[in-house]
Structure 1
């Protein structure tokens, strides 16, 4: 099973993504967070394989979540991370990549690509 943490501050978008993720075979949505501290607590308390991270959160920033993941001491247990955000500027993308984000999906156009990425990651984890 691919264990996922969804870090998204919009309740509507969070619910929609959660439903789409739940429909993917081999995937378990292990946590949801609307802010940075809540996301870090989920990462500490759960064994997460993939974090889907929005950059603008109710509290803190998705960049803080990416930084935390990138600084995980044990590389073998470090979750993968991708960004799902409206802030797709090249400078922001470069910052996310520098913090270890594997991919960046634009909220306006990239939901299908995000779901395809999760499906592929689940197939790789199987």
Structure 2
């Protein structure tokens, strides 16, 4: 079963790298992309229940990923929400978890943990987690 992913990241190159990484880990399908908070919120409104995993950067072209995390949690039974950002300091990490994020990863130092988490979502047939650098 494919894991539907909403990817909220303002840098197109990073969106491509994350999409390629997910494809290498298992049956992930990017079903939505957004570069701003407003785009992400609109996509969530227009596609209720259409995603299993939201990967959210905190710093976007306009707005922040924190608003997106909150929006993801408005509906009961929503998918997993992962913050993947350069700005995941301990205080920001705690705030994101309070907003409803399931996990928070620092782009520069938590890539192996991010890979392991995504691999665990893909199930036992997924590719093993490796320490790749983005």
With normalisation by structure 2, the TM-score equals: 0.83
Aligned to 1:80: 80
Q: Which moved more, 1:49-58 or 1:103-112?
A: 103-112
Aligned to 1:98: 98
4+ aligned runs moved over 4 Å, structure 1: none
Aligned with 2:105: secondary structure? strand
Q: CA deviation at 1:119?
A: 1.4
Tell me which of 32, 49, 53 is aligned to 1:50.
Answer: 53
Whole-angstrom distance in 1 between the partners of 2:113 and 2:32: 21
Whole-angstrom distance in 2 between the partners of 1:118 and 1:42: 22
Aligned with 2:100: secondary structure? coil
Aligned to 2:130: none
Structure 1 gaps, min length 5: none
Aligned with 2:44: secondary structure? helix
With normalisation by structure 1, the TM-score equals: 0.88
What is the CA RMSD across the aligned residues, in angstroms?
A: 1.7
CA contact (8 A) 1:4 1:29 kept: yes
Q: State how many pairs are aligned.
A: 122
Taking the TM superposition and a 5 Å limit, the aligned residue runs for 1:1-126 are 1-46=2-47, 47-72=50-75, 75-76=76-77, 78-123=78-123
CA contact (8 A) 1:51 1:82 kept: yes
Structure 2 gaps, min length 5: 125-134
Aligned with 1:23: secondary structure? helix
CA contact (8 A) 1:6 1:53 kept: yes
